[in-house]
Structure 1
Amino acid sequence: MAVSYPRIGALAVVLDGDSVLLVRRAAHKPDAGLWGFPGGHVEPGETVHAAAARELLEETCLCATPVETLTHLDLIRHDAEGTLLFHYLLVAVRCATPVGTLAACDDAAEAAWHPVDHVLRGALPLSRDVDTVLRRALER
């Protein structure tokens, strides 16, 4: 079945000193095994900022206040015949330093703080554009 509209997703970008919070996607999720920002679909009637905070809590058990929208990304995939499989408009939201005890929850196989330079050097298998979004967050 062809996709007729883009879905909106929110990413929670959390920095703490020289570290960034990332989650590794569970086996049954898109980008399985790759590290990326906590995130997911924006629910009907929910703001992008509220969705980023909710997804952060659901995937890491941490609470944080959304601070600002950093950027947006189009994630579009087609099958071998060129049929559109999905189109997500991902909105990256910088969040304040979180509170709580970090744990991998919901659809995260793992949640961890990683040194920013480690991530930017490509030392982890990353979801697409994690490095681009991280650089944007560091510019702020």
Structure 2
Amino acid sequence: MKEPALPRLGAIAVVLHQGKVLLVRRKNPPDAGLWGFPGGHVDAGETALAAAARELAEETGVIARPVRYLTNLDIILHDAAGALQFHFLLAVVLCDYVSGTPVAADDVTDAGWIAVADVRTLPSSADVDRIIALAYSTTPTIGPI
């Protein structure tokens, strides 16, 4: 695989609702088959906040309002020979659920509301548990049920 020319900017949407978190199973590398947050690339001229909401709708059909940035994730993956395969900077965006029932679309194979207590039982992308904990710790009006 050819090394990426530049790091890519992406955004992921963290949506908490009634003690559950919205997760998707990724279809494509680097996390194919793993559960994680809906998200994708930030388009030119688009904020990461807007990209998170757009990607959420594209991948799941769920509508949410981006509230604030929670953190950033550096995703840097190398192959066995040490060559760079993927380099993403992901803006993690907390979003307030507005409407919709999750349906897998675009580049995901499954989507759904997962009970926070059940997330650890899923094959997940790195940092999913940490991001959920961060979302709850910085959002005093909500908490796991």
Normalised-by-shorter TM-score class? over 0.9
Q: Which residue is equivalent to 1:98?
A: 98
1:73-123 C-alpha deviation (Å, 9 max, x unpaired): 10001122222122101111000113123211111111110111111xx21
Check conservation: 1:75, 1:89, Cα contact below 8 A: yes
Check conservation: 1:24, 1:36, Cα contact below 8 A: yes
| RMSD, aligned α-carbons | 1.2
| Paired residues, number | 137
Structure 2 stretches lacking a partner, 5+ long: 139-145
Secondary structure of the residue that 2:54 maps to in structure 1?
A: helix
Structure 2 matches for 1:17-56, cutoff 5 A? Answer: 17-26=18-27, 28-56=28-56
Secondary structure of the residue that 2:103 maps to in structure 1?
A: coil
1:19-69 C-alpha deviation (Å, 9 max, x unpaired): 00000112x443111110000011111100010000000000011110010
Counterpart check, 1:115 vs 2:86: no
Secondary structure of the residue that 1:65 maps to in structure 2?
A: strand
* TM-score, scaled to structure 2: 0.89
Structure 1 stretches lacking a partner, 5+ long: none
**Letter of the structure 2 residue corresponding to residue 18 of structure 1:** G
Check conservation: 1:61, 1:101, Cα contact below 8 A: yes
Q: Which residue is equivalent to 2:68?
A: 68
Structure 1 segments, 4+ long, off by >3 Å, are none
Secondary structure of the residue that 2:99 maps to in structure 1?
A: coil
Check conservation: 2:71, 2:91, Cα contact below 8 A: yes
Q: Give me the whole-angstrom Cα distance separating, in 1, the residues matched to 2:52 and 2:91.
A: 9
Check conservation: 2:30, 2:86, Cα contact below 8 A: no
Counterpart check, 1:84 vs 2:90: no
Q: Which residue is equivalent to 2:14?
A: 13
Q: CA deviation at 1:14?
A: 0.1
Sequence identity percentage: 55
Check conservation: 1:29, 1:107, Cα contact below 8 A: no
**Letter of the structure 1 residue corresponding to residue 115 of structure 2:** P
Check conservation: 1:77, 1:86, Cα contact below 8 A: yes
Q: Which residue is equivalent to 1:127?
A: 125
